[in-house]
């Protein structure tokens, strides 16, 4: 993958822009904690670090799938399912113990038991284990396993239409002359949002591996409650339109910077809180109430 010299300039990402659109104050707390004149950065970062049950389910499933694929690179022997679920359950217990859940912090629940989180983790993993996709991976993708990228390290920095952007794929692998990108989802399908994310991943792969977008197949794999996939088709014109969009969205975010090159925000007051029903699930509620 191509490497970049670090610059502090802000880089577009699906999650960054989603946050920017949803609530400017939440965006400020997420990206500019150290500039906050009211609250210590330490407090903001501690709130930012909090997890939630849905987030943690996704996190654990991603990590277990990573281990599963790494194991598949070593051996395609049948998986001992009892051991596999035991491993996933232990991981769930360790993660749940180590994290602060916003459900508890904001008093919606008195405790979060690992068994509650594991229920959905187990179903998601089971669905993937029983999927035709896993069989297909073993039959058609394993022989090029040395070229697999499983949650590549770093933040996924790339350039889209010359703009700095971040797109972090879960799993990319070649089959014949095509590159496949898979993204695991444990939440609800959201075709518009997920298609946009996959167009970004295609742009990332096209840039780093000099591949025609038409030769890249992004797949969204929904793991819960049943296994379901959505294949996305992306062509060069989609990437061009996407690049224009990124340019506009980056410019929108840059308008909130007093120093664009150094990514220093303007006054906090400009990042107005956008109260909505999403506040009930926002990590920073304690700073807004």
Binding site for ligand SF4 (CB under 6 A): 23, 25-26, 273-275, 278-279, 282, 284-285, 288
- Min dist CB 73 to ligand SF4, Å, is 41
User: Which has the closest alpha carbon to 164: 2, 1, 13, 3?
Assistant: 13
Nearer to ligand SF4, 48 or 196 (CB): 48
- Min dist CB 95 to ligand SF4, Å, is 24
- Min dist CB 41 to ligand SF4, Å, is 16
Nearer to ligand SF4, 161 or 273 (CB): 273
Q: How far apart are CA 131 and CA 65, in angstroms?
A: 13
- Min dist CB 190 to ligand SF4, Å, is 19
Nearer to ligand SF4, 205 or 253 (CB): 253
Nearer to ligand SF4, 217 or 283 (CB): 283
Nearer to ligand SF4, 251 or 278 (CB): 278
- Do 242 and 199 touch, CB atoms closer than 8 A? yes
- Min dist CB 26 to ligand SF4, Å, is 4
User: Which has the closest alpha carbon to 1: 264, 205, 148?
Assistant: 205
- Tokens linked to 56: 């943690």
Q: What are phi and psi of 203, to 5 degrees?
A: -60, -40
Q: How far apart are CA 7 and CA 57, in angstroms?
A: 33
- Do 98 and 58 touch, CB atoms closer than 8 A? no
């Amino acid at each position: 993958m191509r490497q970049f010299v670090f610059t502090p300039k802000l880089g577009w990402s699906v999650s960054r822009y989603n946050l920017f659109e949803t609530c400017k104050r939440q965006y400020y707390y997420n990206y500019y904690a150290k500039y906050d004149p009211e609250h210590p950065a330490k407090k903001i970062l501690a709130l930012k670090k909090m997890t939630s049950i849905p987030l943690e389910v996704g996190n654990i499933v991603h990590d277990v799938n990573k281990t599963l694929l790494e194991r598949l690179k070593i051996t395609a022997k049948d998986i001992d399912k009892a051991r596999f679920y035991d491993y996933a359950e232990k991981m769930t217990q360790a993660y749940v113990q180590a994290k602060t859940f916003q459900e508890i912090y904001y008093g919606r629940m008195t405790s979060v038991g690992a068994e509650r989180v594991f229920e959905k983790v187990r179903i998601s993993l089971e669905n993937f284990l029983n999927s035709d996709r896993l069989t297909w991976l073993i039959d058609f993708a394993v022989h090029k396993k040395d070229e697999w990228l499983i949650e590549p390290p770093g933040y996924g920095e790339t350039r889209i239409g010359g703009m700095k952007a971040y797109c972090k794929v879960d799993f990319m692998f070649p089959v014949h002359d095509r590159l496949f990108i898979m993204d695991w989802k444990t939440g609800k399908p959201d075709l518009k949002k997920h298609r946009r994310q996959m167009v970004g991943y295609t742009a990332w792969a096209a840039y780093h591996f000099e591949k025609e977008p038409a030769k890249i197949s992004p797949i969204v794999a929904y793991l819960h409650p049943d296994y379901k996939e959505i294949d996305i088709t992306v062509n060069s014109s989609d990437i061009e339109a996407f690049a224009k969009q990124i340019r506009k969205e980056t410019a929108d975010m840059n308008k909130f910077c007093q120093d664009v090159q150094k990514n220093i925000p303007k006054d906090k007051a400009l990042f107005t809180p956008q109260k909505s029903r999403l506040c009930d699930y926002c990590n920073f509620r304690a700073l807004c109430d």
